[in-house]
Amino acid sequence: MRHKNIGKRYTCLGVMAAIAVVLGGCGGGGERIQSAMQMIGELNYEGALEQLSLAEENGENVRLIHRARGIAYMGLTDYEQAAACFEEALAGSNGLVQNVDFDLNFYLAAAYTKSERYGEAEDIYDAILSLRSGNEDAYFLRGNVRLAQGNYEGAKQDFDKVIAMDAKNYDRLIEIYQVLDYYSHGEAGREYLQAALEAGDKNMDKYASGRIYYYLGEYQSAYLALEEARESGGVESYLYLGKSYEATGDYNYAASVYNSYLEKYEGNAEIYNQLGLCEMAKGEYRNALDAFQAGMQLQNVTMMQTLSFNEIVAYEYLGDYRQAGILMENYLKNYPDDAQARREYEFLSSR
Listing DSSP states for 66-128 in one string gives HHHHHHHHHHTT-HHHHHHHHHHHHHT--SS--HHHHHHHHHHHHHHHHTT-HHHHHHHHHHH
Report the pLDDT value the prediction gives residue 28, as an integer from 0 to 100.
55
For residues 113 and 121, the answer to whether their CB atoms sit within 8 Å is yes
Domain membership flag for residue 45: yes
- Give me the half-sphere count of Cα atoms (radius 13 Å) on the Cβ side of residue 62: 9
Q: How many domains does the chain have?
A: 2
The CB-based long-range contact list for 101-104 (8 Å cut-off, 24+ gap) reads 102/23, 102/128, 102/131, 102/132, 103/23, 103/26, 103/67, 104/67
> Minimal CA–CA distance to 211: which of 181, 183, 241, 184?
241
Does 348 reside within a domain? Answer: yes
Q: Considering 68, 84, 115, which residue would you say is the last residue of a domain?
A: 115
Cα separation, 306 vs 277, whole angstroms: 11
Asked if residue 132 is part of any domain, the answer here is no
pLDDT of residue 15: 37
For residue 134, tell me if it sits in a domain.
Answer: no
CA 58 distance to own-chain centroid? 35
If you ran DSSP here, which 8-state letter would residue 310 be given?
Answer: H
Q: What is the pLDDT of residue 300?
A: 74
The pLDDT value recorded for residue 345 is 66
* 150, part of any domain: no
Q: Please tell me the predicted confidence (pLDDT) of residue 17.
A: 40
In the chain, which residues have pLDDT < 50?
A: 1-25
190 within some domain: no
pLDDT of residue 16: 40
Are 177 and 192 contacting, i.e. CB atoms less than 8 angstroms apart?
yes
- Measured CA to CA, the distance from residue 65 to residue 53 in angstroms comes to 8
Residues 250, 240: Cα–Cα separation, whole Å: 14
Query: Which strand (E) or helix (H) includes residue 278?
Result: helix 269-281
Last residue of a domain, one of 67, 83, 115: 115
State the CATH number of the domain containing residue 108.
Answer: 1.25.40
With respect to residue 159, please indicate whether it lies within any of the assigned structural domains.
no
203: exposed, middle or buried (C-beta count within 10 Å: 0-12, 13-18, 19+)?
exposed
Point out the domain boundary residue: 86, 115, 144: 115
How much is the pLDDT for 3? 41
The domain of 31 spans: 9-115
- CA 281, CA 4: separation in Å to the nearest integer? 13
Q: Does 257 map to a domain?
A: no
